[in-house]
Structure 1
């Protein structure tokens, strides 16, 4: 599903770890606040609630370097809405394997930042609209390798580089507030929005319906909601009312 200027896609998060759907606090192993069996059923639940797109992250790939491919395939078999997928995609062969499974958008982080030519190669072969670059920010600096390593550039400083390499969209995660259920601040997002002409999906700290309204007003093309859905702080059907501008 391509992004539309008059729409902000609401994307429920299904994060996979050890075969379960989990929610971590700031991505830290052992900080699970949510653990649910059968992630494919969770994804189907969000589709049945009205989600037009599901955001899937393979935390096993991100944290341990192992992949959750069997679970990813189950999700793809279970749901009919588009899936955007990221986590642990460290080589181009595996990226192509996932794209050949009909993943709508593949989220590339560490590999793309360290080797931007991989973004070019994938976008040329599969189309830029299917390649999303992940710019995760901590203290306004990009972090990679499961948020464990920081590089000395802000997301806005490197965003145009990835547009030139063929990325079709950006996933911007504010690690400072991710998973804390304490809200967020829009300044880093607006700075990024003003620096590059690419669709941006925001993730991190989305806690209330008012947060959804605030994000809609920034002009961002998508928002990922994780812990707030699982902790019943946001009702998906109510959030979906803000998909249209």
Structure 2
């Protein structure tokens, strides 16, 4: 299973939000330093999130450029990518893969166009949910649609990678809701990445047992609950 460190960008800094709440922010300093540290510890892929763009409060494209220039490993970019122009911009910044969320829930024709533009290997879809209650617009809005129905729709459209994040637990170190992850795993036949609340090695081993292909880690790495080099030897 691939372990993917997350670097969330807000105001040019690396931060973590608790349950996606911008008022509950913990700052972790320079995103370039964080990204380099994860690379040195053995990461082979990185997850970058532009929180300001996702929330409609600005953007962190200059910080993305700095991180991209400092890395020798590929990264995927998420956050506020809601048009073909934004998709092309993200790819031009050097992203190996782009992650879209709100578009994939609210505008299926645009999602199809994005798949045609980037190809399924360079476009992933974010399933952000409180359990299985779908959230959009930087996790600030509920969407009146079934998460499991969405997965079936996305598979039929040609999506091949989904990132499931449990908004209730993200940034809390509360551990995973494995029953929900198991339901998502059962419903999704292709590559599945999961995150939101990972607290330690047991969570990673549980994801591996469920057949999840990748885990996205944030606060657990920043605060030493998981040591990437050690975890890579186990999972």
TM-score, L = length of structure 1: 0.91
Aligned with 2:23: secondary structure? coil
Does residue 1 of structure 2 align to residue 35 of structure 1? Answer: no
Deviation for aligned residue 1:26: 0.9
5+ residue gaps, structure 2 = none
Alignment of structure 1 residues 98-109 onto 2, 5 Å? 98-109=90-101
Structure 1: state its 5+ residue gaps.
1-7
| 1:211 correspondence with 2:203 | yes
SS at match of 1:183: coil
Indicate whether 1:13 and 2:13 are aligned. no
Aligned-residue offset at 1:139: 4.2
1:97 is aligned, of 89, 113, 119, to 89
2:105 pairs with 1:113: yes
Deviation at 1:9, TM superposition (A): 0.8
Runs of 4+, deviation exceeding 3 Å: none
3-state DSSP class of the match of 1:129?
Answer: coil
What secondary structure is seen at the aligned counterpart in 2 of 1:128?
Answer: coil
Aligned position for 1:123:
115
Q: Secondary structure of 1:71's match?
A: helix
Find the aligned partners of 1:34 and 1:212 in 2 and give their Cα distance.
Answer: 24
**In 2, Cα distance between equivalents of 1:168 and 1:65:** 30
Q: How far 1:65 moved relative to its partner?
A: 4.2
Q: More strand by proportion, 1 or 2?
A: 2
With structure 2 as the length reference, what TM-score do the two structures score?
Answer: 0.95
How much has 1:154 moved relative to structure 2? 3.1
Deviation, structure 1 residue 101 = 2.9
